[in-house]
Amino acid sequence: MNIQIKNLSKKYGNHHALSQLNLSIGSGMFGLLGPNGTGKTTLMKILATLQAPSSGEVRFGELLLGKDDHEIRKVVGYLPQHFGLYERLTGEEFLDYIAILKGIRHPVHRKKQIDAVLEEVNLADKRKFKIRTYSGGMRQRVGIAQALLGNPQIIITDEPTVGLDPEERIRFRNMLGELSVDRIVLLSTHIVGDIETSCTELAIMHAGNVLFQGQPETLLDRMEGKVWTTIVNKQESAEIRSKKNFLSQRTVQNGYELRVLSDETPIGQAVLASPNLEDAYMALIGGHSIE
Ligand SMILES: Nc1ncnc2c1ncn2[C@@H]1O[C@H](COP(=O)(O)OP(=O)(O)OP(=O)(O)O)[C@@H](O)[C@H]1O
C-alpha cells in the first residue's frame, strides 16, 4: 500500500489551507512536520475521508478518494488531534464500543481484536481500569488502539505527542515505530524531536505547501557545511538574531551560543557545526532553499 497525493488543494472561503500539495507516502513511519496553522490537520482530515478537498487527487493504492471512500475507511485508522474519551468506561469497554461502531459485530471477533490491539499498545494489564485513571500517555495509547481496530494498513495520527511528558513521548514514539514495521504510520507534529529519532521519511510543510520530502539524512546532507556556531555576548546576539540567516540560540555559561546558516564563515570566530534536523527545519521555514 502507498498513498499518492497530487496537486491537492483546500480552500476555506478565500483562505488556501493547502495549495497544490504533492506527496508520496510508502510504508514505514512518515513524519509530517510543520508549524501550527500550516495545514497538517486539514491534510489528515482529508486523508481520513472526513473532509473533501477543493481539488486534486489522492490514491491509496488503487483506491481513489472521493470515489472509493467506503473501502478507504477500512484501510485507514485515525487518531484525531482532539480525541474525546469516555472517562467512566474502562479501556476495554471503550474499545468494545468503538469496535461495534466500526462494524465488528461478532462478540468473539471483537474480543479477539481488542485483545490484540491492547497487546500492541501495551495496555493489556490496564484494560479493566477506568479511563479517568489513565495518564496522558495511556490515553494516547488507547487512541492508537481504537485506530488499530479493524487492522488498517494506514494509521494517521494528528499531533499525538502534544501534552505528553518527555518519557511518555519517547515511549509513544517507540510504539508507533513498532507499528510501522508492516504499516504506514503518518505522524503529524510541530516537534522536531518527534521526527528526528523515529521517522524513516519526512515532509516539511509550511503555509499549505510541502517544502521538502525525503529521508532525514538527505536533508542533513544538504545542510552539511552550511551551519555555523559561535559564542557571543548579549549585544552581538541581538544583532545576529535580527538577520535572516539566524537559526537558533542557546544560553551557555559565558554568553549565548548561536547557530547560523551560511555558505562561508559568517563571522571571524564561528566554527562549522554538524547540522541537525532543527537547523534544516528553521532554514526551510525561514524561506531558505536547501538544494
Ligand atoms: N473549518 C475552517 N474554516 C476556516 N478556516 C480553517 C478551518 N479549518 C482550518 N482553517 C484554517 O486553515 C489553516 C490550516 O489549519 P490546520 O488546522 O489544517 O493547520 P495545522 O497545521 O493542523 O495547525 P494546528 O496544529 O494548529 O491544528 C489555518 O490557518 C486555519 O485557521
Per DSSP, 203 falls in state: E
Place of cell 547560523: 260
Per the CB < 8 A criterion, the answer to whether 141 and 121 are in contact is: yes
Number of CB atoms found within 10 A of residue 72's CB = 22
What is the structure's pLDDT at 171? 86
* Alpha carbon of 83 to ligand 1 centroid (Å): 17
107 falls in which pLDDT band (50, 70, 90)? very high
Per the CB < 8 A criterion, the answer to whether 65 and 72 are in contact is: yes
Atom 29 of ligand 1 has which residue's CA nearest to it?
37
* Alpha carbon of 38 to ligand 1 centroid (Å): 7
For residue 206, pLDDT over 90 is answered with yes
CB neighbours of 38 closer than 8 A, spacing ≥ 6? 205, 206, 207, 208
Q: Over the stretch 230-286, which tens digit does the pLDDT of each residue have?
A: 999 999 999 999 988 999 999 999 899 999 999 988 887 899 999 999 999 999 999
Q: Over the stretch 133-168, which tens digit does the pLDDT of each residue have?
A: 999 889 999 999 999 999 999 999 999 888 888 888
Q: How far from the centroid of its chain's Cα atoms is residue 203's Cα?
A: 9
User: How large is the ipTM?
Assistant: 0.92
Q: What pTM value is reported for the model?
A: 0.91
Averaged pLDDT, 17-34: 96
What is the structure's pLDDT at 193? 86
Atom 23 of ligand 1 has which residue's CA nearest to it?
37
Averaged pLDDT, 204-213: 95
* Alpha carbon of 205 to ligand 1 centroid (Å): 13
Atom 2 of ligand 1 has which residue's CA nearest to it?
12
Atom 4 of ligand 1 has which residue's CA nearest to it?
12
What is the structure's pLDDT at 217? 93
For residue 96, pLDDT over 80 is answered with yes
Averaged pLDDT, 49-68: 97
What is the structure's pLDDT at 164? 85
